[in-house]
Structure 1
């Protein structure tokens, strides 16, 4: 399941149809992630001296002016590249002056590893606005790439923005799967029935069983219990998919 998620993220990076890369699902997920990160490094390190000069030159202009130039001239991809070499305080100031739609476009193009400090310093309200916009776009991959770089308090607040279907999709493509259990621990128990219902309504059994594989025993039992409380047809479908994936023990425990 982890390899399938990595294939989706690799396809996104390359602008390719994930079905064309489906053969890679047999490759170890850690190898796929290393490949994706190396490809990202190649893309972001291209023209690095020029990007640094542009970031330095931006300091000569007021933040509001820089934001206007960014939206009208640079575009989201170039802005994302420049953000990776900008001073964090300056980048946050400019980001707060961008329109919401454009900032979301920039977020799609960012490499969070290079902008971790910027992401962590963004005002919570602004992060939640961007999260809501990405949910509206159903851009689960971008949301998943940022979760590991946000403070727990911001992640907890963002859980109110992520409806149950969105949470299942996002957890599946989360860059740092070690964070899945930590995120689910922040959920109130009342959300587990909603997650189970979303899995049944939208046929999201793969991300649901992937979620079960990455949470602690207590939360695993809460979600498995919610799945067992579904209507008979949904339970039968869940058990069928679990058997196909070799994880039927999650529902029988």
Structure 2
């Protein structure tokens, strides 16, 4: 399973109003583990960032002057994202900007290239209703170290979100994942054996063992006031056998 945790930084808040993407950060997860195959670009947006946006991401207009236009690397980005599930915090914002960039270069919308889009903000609102669910708040809640996040940055935020997402979706399958890893590692030096080629003997219980088992069941049934389910099913099965023996057919 291939997932891409994605984040963007922009010149402002309105893609339709002319704001553009200035940074894209992508972190790849393979089977829920960081692969190290990340993607990171700064872009020359062809316009200045709003002052409010500059205070959020701190990426100066001068720094972006010599960076590539989105159109110049769009094919590389789409090839990287192809077929993957995207994990995005407040997905509507980032997807809206990416769709606008694709529209401007005559490309179809983002969803036509990827396997799906998961919004971690929507997930967090379901898991923690009534609580703050910003990326910083989730890091604090889930024990993800975000001490290096003084300003927003697309790659750093994608890396933090990857940890947050894994923690939010880990749940009770954590033990199964860890156990699976342990079994895989432990079995690395052993040969698999096909047990189907062995004729395994069937050991039937002795009369003494059957009697002891029946005694235990009787004691349990007595303690339950004769309401044990298995005896009811046994009685029903015996009655059905009796009907069959005498050719009695029940029609409902």
Higher strand proportion: 2
Give the TM interval when normalised to the shorter protein: under 0.3
Structure-2-length-normalised TM-score? 0.21
- Structure 1 or 2, whichever has the larger Rg, is 2
Higher RCO (Cα < 8 Å, 6 or more apart): 2
TM-score, normalised to structure 1's length? 0.20
